[in-house]
Amino acid sequence: MTKKLYILTLPILIITFLSGCLYPQNDLAKNQMPNEAQLDMVQSAVLQYKEQTNGLVPIKTKENDVDIYEKYLIDFSLLKDNQLISEIPGTAYENGGIYQYTIVTPEDDPKVKLIDLRVTEKIREVYVKLDIYRSKNIYPPFGEQIDTDIYKLNYKKLGYKSEPHVISPFTKVNLPLLINTDGDIFIDYRIDLQQALNEFDHNYKNGDDIRPILENNYPFVPAYSLPYTIENNEPVFLIE
């Protein structure tokens, strides 16, 4: 699948710079922190670009079935060529940082947000183990069923001693990984969504996709997520 192949083919340099080998410690620390000034700079440049190009946004070309939050990754070369930025932000992957800059709602009101590549790297790691497992087994290593076509991972069959997780860019808590019947890996953001529903005003109703409550209140997007809706003021999977 396109989404899976994209994750698996991320440059191996991600692993290197996450270990701190390419950059001095001070520069590495600087590039790991979301920077509001850099986000504002890119946001302003994107809006100027859209105005100059009659509604276009500076994005890289992606396949149609890629994860919705990876679909509109910013092409910094377009912003530089149009002299809208002088340099790529230090927090950006393209300049040694650990974030990809992406755009949400590009047609109506383009907002610049971040994807934490440490999350991406963990999912890539699980996909590698999953591919090894699938080369010897017909079915993915399904664990407990969570919802229709959604399961926990049987992590022991993948060779893990404990359940793999990612650290939430929103709340810094550990978030579990899930798998669907197609063998796609997702992050379970229900903990983050519940906290956001409790903390921020909203008017979501059952049937609405509630993920925007995260992107509207944080600099990040819930990458590699399934759609969620609300039921009795709690996040549940939005099953179509």
Tell me: do 126 and 219 sit in the same domain. Answer: yes
Number of domains in the chain: 2
Which among 65, 91, 116 is the end of a domain? Answer: 116
Tell me: do 36 and 125 sit in the same domain. Answer: no
Q: Bridge-partner residues for 165, per DSSP?
A: 176
Domain around 147 = 118-237
Tell me: do 34 and 111 sit in the same domain. Answer: yes
Which among 116, 131, 162 is the end of a domain? Answer: 116
Tell me: do 203 and 168 sit in the same domain. Answer: yes
Which among 69, 100, 116 is the end of a domain? Answer: 116
Tell me: do 77 and 103 sit in the same domain. Answer: yes
What is the spatial distance between Cα 89 and Cα 85, in angstroms, rounded to a whole number? Answer: 9
Tell me: do 133 and 214 sit in the same domain. Answer: yes
Q: What's this model's pTM, rounded to 2 decimal places?
A: 0.86
Tell me: do 124 and 233 sit in the same domain. Answer: yes
DSSP 35-51: -HHHHHHHHHHHHHHHH
Tell me: do 112 and 6 sit in the same domain. Answer: yes
Tell me: do 227 and 178 sit in the same domain. Answer: yes
Tell me: do 231 and 145 sit in the same domain. Answer: yes
Tell me: do 23 and 105 sit in the same domain. Answer: yes
**Residue written as token pair 């912003």:** 79
Q: Bridge-partner residues for 142, per DSSP?
A: 153
3-state DSSP of 79-140: HHHCCCCCCCCCCEHHHCCCEEEEEECCCCCCEEEEEEHHHHHHHHHHHHHHHHHHCCCCCC
What is the spatial distance between Cα 239 and Cα 40, in angstroms, rounded to a whole number? Answer: 35
pLDDT in tens, the chain (240 residues): 445 544 554 543 444 444 444 444 444 445 556 789 999 999 999 999 999 999 999 999 877 778 889 999 999 999 999 999 999 999 999 999 999 999 999 988 999 999 999 999 999 999 999 999 999 999 999 999 999 999 999 999 999 999 999 999 999 999 999 999 999 999 999 999 999 999 999 999 999 999 999 999 999 999 999 999 999 999 999 987
Tell me: do 112 and 122 sit in the same domain. Answer: no
